[in-house]
Amino acid sequence: MMVNLRFTEQPLSEWMSREGKESDIVISTRVRIARNLMHQPFPMLATNQQSEDVLNQLREVLNDERMTAYGKLYPILLNDIEDLDKRVLVEKHLISPNLAGESRSGAVFISEDESLSIMVNEEDHLRIQCLYPGFQIQDAWERATAIDDVFEDHVDYAFDAHRGFLTSCPTNVGTGLRASVMMHLPALVITQQINRILSAVTQVGLTVRGIYGEGSEAMGNLFQISNQITLGQSETEIIENLYGVVLQIIEHEKTAREKLLSDSRLHMVDRVMRSYGTLSYAAIMDSKEAAQRLSDVRLGVDLGLIDTLSPQVLNELNVLTQPGFLQKIYGENLSAGERDMYRAKLIREKVGK
C-alpha cells in the first residue's frame, strides 16, 4: 500500500522538476502507444477472467532484462486503491480517466520518476505512455517504441496487414500512436490570434484538446496539440508533422510575447501583478480562476517580470489545486465551497514563500 501512496501524495512528478527544450512554452511532451493482444477479446468485451489473464501475461513481460534499463516499475492494481487515489493519478496524467473508471483487472506500472506509465486493461489491453518535460518529442518516441518492441517480442499483437494495429477506438487504428505536447499560449490568447492558429492546426491532421485530453476544457491557456490521424501515416511521419507544427506555434507565441512587451508593457505588468497579488491574498478561489491567475503569473515569470517564483512551483500548483489533490490533502468529500477555500489557502502558502 505504501507504493500506492507514494504516487498519490507527491504532487510534482520527478520528471516535471527537470528542464526541457522550450519549456517556457511547451510544458510537457507525451507519447502513447495503444496495443491489443491477439486471440483475446478487447477490454470492453472481456470477462473478469479474460482481463486477469491479459494482466498476468503482460506483467510477465516486465521481467525482461531490457526493461530494467528503464528502472524499477511499481505496480498499482486499480481495484486495490480508493477512488480518490485514482482521481489523483488522473490529475497527474499517470492514468487515463477511462482506466480510473475500469474495474476489471485494470492496472498501471509506473517508473520511479513517473515519466513512464504502462496501463493494462484500459480502453485497450496495453497503453505505453512516456512523459518528458518541455519539447522532447523524438526522445519520448524513441523510448516508447523501444518498450513496445520488448512487449512485441513476448506477445502477439492484434494486427491486420492492411489496417495496421487494431484498437478499440477506430481513431487509433493503424499505428496506435498518439503524440502530444502541452503548450502554454497566453500571448496568442491575449492578442486574439489563438483561434486562427488553432484552426490552421486542424487543417494539417492535428487536433487541439484541453489539459486532460478529449472532452476537457483548455483552462489556464493550456492547450494539448496531438496527431489526429493514426491510419495512413507512418510513425515517423506523425512525429515529424507534429514536430514541425509545434515549432511554428512556438515562434508565433514568442512573437506575440515580444509584441506585448514592446507595445503594452505597462498593461502586461499590471495584469501579471494583479494576478500575483490575488494569488497571494485571496481567501477563496475556484479552479477556473486559479488556472487563469497561475497562467498570468507563469507568463510574468517567463517574461522576467517576476523573479520570486520558479516554474517548478507553478507546475506543482497546477496539480495541487485540482479537486482530487485538494481532497487528498484536506480530507475527502469537501464541498465546492470548501475546495475553493482550501485552494486559495494552499496557493497563498506556496506563492507567499
pLDDT for position 22: 94
123-141: average pLDDT: 96
169 and 275 share one domain:
no
Structure confidence at residue 101 (pLDDT): 86
Confidence band, pLDDT 50/70/90 cuts, at residue 217? low
Q: Which pLDDT score is estimated for 296?
A: 97
- 204 is known to lie in a ligand binding site: no
* Closest alpha carbon to 76 in 48, 102, 109, 51: 109
Same domain, 15 and 114: yes
Residue 93 marked as a ligand binder: yes
Q: Reply yes or no on whether the pLDDT at 210 is more than 80.
A: no
The annotation status of 209 as a binding-site residue, yes or no, is: yes
Instruction: Name the domain boundary from 143, 174, 205.
Output: 174
Asked if residue 267 belongs to a known ligand binding site, the reply is no
Of 81-95, 144-158, 268-282, which range is least confident?
Answer: 81-95
Q: Which three cell numbers stand for residue 84?
A: 480518490
Higher pLDDT, 205 or 292: 292
Residues 10 and 109 in one domain: yes
Is residue 211 very low, low, confident or very high in pLDDT (cuts 50, 70, 90)? low
What is the pLDDT confidence band of residue 109, given thresholds at 50, 70 and 90?
Answer: very high
Distance CA 297, CA 210 (A): 20
Q: 285, 291, 137: which is closest to 210 by C-alpha?
A: 291
Q: What is the mean pLDDT of the chain?
A: 91
Confidence of residue 231 (pLDDT cuts 50, 70, 90): confident
Does residue 52 have a known ligand-binding role? no
CA-based nearest residue to 185, from 154, 222, 219:
222
Average of per-residue pLDDT across 278-286: 96
235-260 mean pLDDT: 96
* CA distance readout (Å), 126 to 33, 37, 108, 200, 240: 8, 8, 10, 33, 24
For residues 240-251, give the mean pLDDT: 96
Domain holding 322, by residue range, is 263-352
Position 189 in a domain: no
Domain end call among 174, 200, 217? 174
339 annotated as a binding-site residue: no
Residue 187, sorted as left (phi over 0), alpha (psi -120 to 50) or beta, turns out to be: alpha
Over residues 76-87, the pLDDT tens digits come to: 999 889 899 999
127 labeled part of a ligand binding site: yes
Was 174 annotated as part of a binding site? no
pLDDT tier, 11 (very low <50, low <70, confident <90, very high otherwise): confident
Q: Residue 179 falls within a domain, yes or no?
A: no
Annotated binding-site residue? 180: yes
* Neighbouring residues of 109: CB distance < 8 A, sequence distance ≥ 6: 59, 62, 73, 74, 75, 76, 117, 118, 120
272 and 166 within one domain? no
25 and 138 both lie in a single domain: yes
Q: Is 322 exposed, middle or buried (0-12, 13-18, 19+ CB in 10 A)?
A: buried
Residues 18 and 167 in one domain: yes
Is residue 219 part of an annotated ligand binding site? no
pLDDT at 1 over 70: no
Confidence of residue 3 (pLDDT cuts 50, 70, 90): very low
Known binding residue 29? Answer is yes
Does a structural domain hold residue 193?
A: no
Position 270 in a domain: yes
Q: Are residues 170 and 267 in the same domain?
A: no
- Residues 169 and 312 occupy one common structural domain: no
Q: Check residue 216 and give its pLDDT.
A: 47
Q: Any binding-site annotation on 214?
A: yes
Q: Residue 203 domain-assigned?
A: no
| pLDDT given for residue 103 in this prediction | 63
- From 151, 174, 197, the end of a domain falls on 174
Share of the chain above pLDDT 90, in %: 75
| Domains held by the chain: number | 2
What number is the average pLDDT over the span 336-351?
A: 95
The reply, when asked if residue 213 is annotated as ligand binding, is: yes
Q: pLDDT > 70: what percent of the chain?
A: 95
Integer Cα distance of 348 and 353 in angstroms: 8
Instruction: Determine if residue 348 is labeled as part of a ligand binding site.
Output: no
Regarding whether 164 and 20 lie in a shared domain, the answer is yes
Q: Quote the pLDDT of residue 2.
A: 42
Q: How far is CA 15 from CA 30, 86, 315, in A?
A: 12, 20, 11
Tell me, yes or no, whether 23 lies in a domain.
Answer: yes
Q: Are residues 8 and 150 part of one domain? A: yes
Does 243 map to a domain? no
Q: Is 114 a domain residue?
A: yes
Mark whether 37 and 163 lie in a shared domain.
yes
CATH number at residue 11: 3.30.590.10
Distance, CA of 35 to CA of 239 (rounded, Å): 18
For range 303-311, the mean pLDDT: 91
Q: Is the pTM of this model over 0.85?
A: yes
